Chains A and B, each alone.
Chain A
Amino acid sequence: MTALEVKKLLILLVLCFSPVVTADDLPIPSRPEELVFEELTFQPPNSADFRHLLDNGVVVFLLPDHELPLVDFSFRFTGGSYLDPTGKEGLGMLAGDLIRSGGSSSSDAESLDEAFDFLAANAGVSVGLNGSGASLNCLASNLEESFTLFIEMLRDPRFQTDRFDLLKSEIIEAMKQRNDSGDEILDREWKALIFGRDHAEAREQTLASIEGITDADLRWFHKTVFNPGNVVIGVTGDFEIDTMKTRLEEALDGWAAGNRCSAPPAPEAEFEPGVYHVEKDIPQGAIYIGARGVVRDHPDGTTLRVMNRILGGGGFTSRITNKVRTEEGLAYSAGSAMIPGVHYPGEFRAYVQSKSRTVALASKLILEEISRIREEPVTQEELDIAKNSIIGTFPRIFESKNTVRDLFVNEERYPRAPGFWKTYRDRVKVITPEDVQRVAREHLDPARMAIVIVGVWSEIAPGDLEGRAKMSDFFGGKVTELPLRDPLTQEPIGP
Chain B
Amino acid sequence: MLRSCTLVLLLLGLTLPLAAQQVAPEVYTLENGMKFLLLPRDTQPNVIAVGWAARVGSVNERPGITGISHFFEHMMFKGTTTIGTSDADRDGMYIREQETVRSKLRATHLDQQYERWKRGEIADPWDQANDTPEMSDMRARLREIQESQKKVIRKNEFDEIYTRLGASGTNAFTSHDLTFYINNVPSNKLELWAWMESDRLQDSVFREFYQERDVVHEERRMRTESTPTGIYQEQFDAMFWQSSPYSWPVIGWTTDLNSYTREQAQDYFETYYSPNNLVGVIVGDFDFDEAYSLIDRYFGRLERGEEPPRVVTLEMPQLAEKRMNVECDCPPQVEVRYHAVPFGHRDEPALEVMAEILNGVTGRLRKSLIEEQRLATSARVIVDSRKYAGSVGFSGECQAGVDPEKLEEAWYGELEKIQSEPVSERELQKIKNQVLASSYRRLADNFSLMIQLGYYEALGDWEYINEFARQLTEVTSEDIQRVAGSYFDPSDRNVGIYRRKASGGGVAATDPLERFAPEPRAMVRQYLTFLPQMPLEQVEEMVRKMESQVAEAPPDFKIAIEFMIEKSRERLSAAEEEN
Contacts and interface: CB of A to CB of B under 8 A. Distances in A.
A207 B226 contact: no
B72 to A, nearest CB: 16
Interface string A405-422: 000000000000000000
A70 B433 contact: no
Contacts of A173: 331, 377, 397, 399-400
B221 A283 contact: yes
A284 B225 contact: yes
A371 B160 CA distance: 23
Contacts of A26: 297
Contacts of A30: 82
A177 B330 contact: yes
Contacts of A389: 163-164, 166, 168
Interface string B134-161: 0000000000000000100001100111
Interface string A168-212: 111011101101111000000000000000000000000100011
Interface string B487-511: 0000000000000100011111111
A316 B159 contact: yes
Interface size class for chain B?
35 or more
Interface stretch (B56-64, B241-249, B441-449, B472-480): B441-449
Contacts of B508: 486-488, 493
B526 A488 contact: no
B12 interface: no
B160 A331 contact: no
Contacts of B397: 173
A68 B443 contact: yes
Most B-side CB within 10 Å, residue of A286, A316, A329: A316
A30 B189 CA distance: 17
Given A120-B437, A215-B533, A353-B222, A169 B296 contact: no
Contacts of A170: 377
A322 B156 contact: yes
Contacts of A430: none
B298 interface: yes
Contact of B218 (A139, A168, A355): A355
A12 interface: no
B159 A315 contact: yes
Nearest to A488: B509
Contacts of A332: 4, 215-216, 218-219, 222
Contact of B211 (A65, A328, A396): A328
A42 B188 CA distance: 12
B400 A172 contact: yes
B521 interface: yes
A260 B128 CA distance: 63
A137 interface: yes
A119 B222 contact: no
Given A32-B196, A400-B444, A67 B129 contact: no
B191 A214 contact: no
A319 to B, nearest CB: 10
15 contacts: A29-B195, A30-B82, A110-B362, A116-B361, A117-B360, A166-B371, A169-B374, A169-B525, A176-B511, A181-B227, A281-B504, A322-B155, A332-B222, A333-B4, A388-B164
Shortest Cβ-Cβ A-B pairs, 7 listed: A392-B166, A329-B214, A120-B437, A316-B159, A332-B219, A329-B211, A395-B46
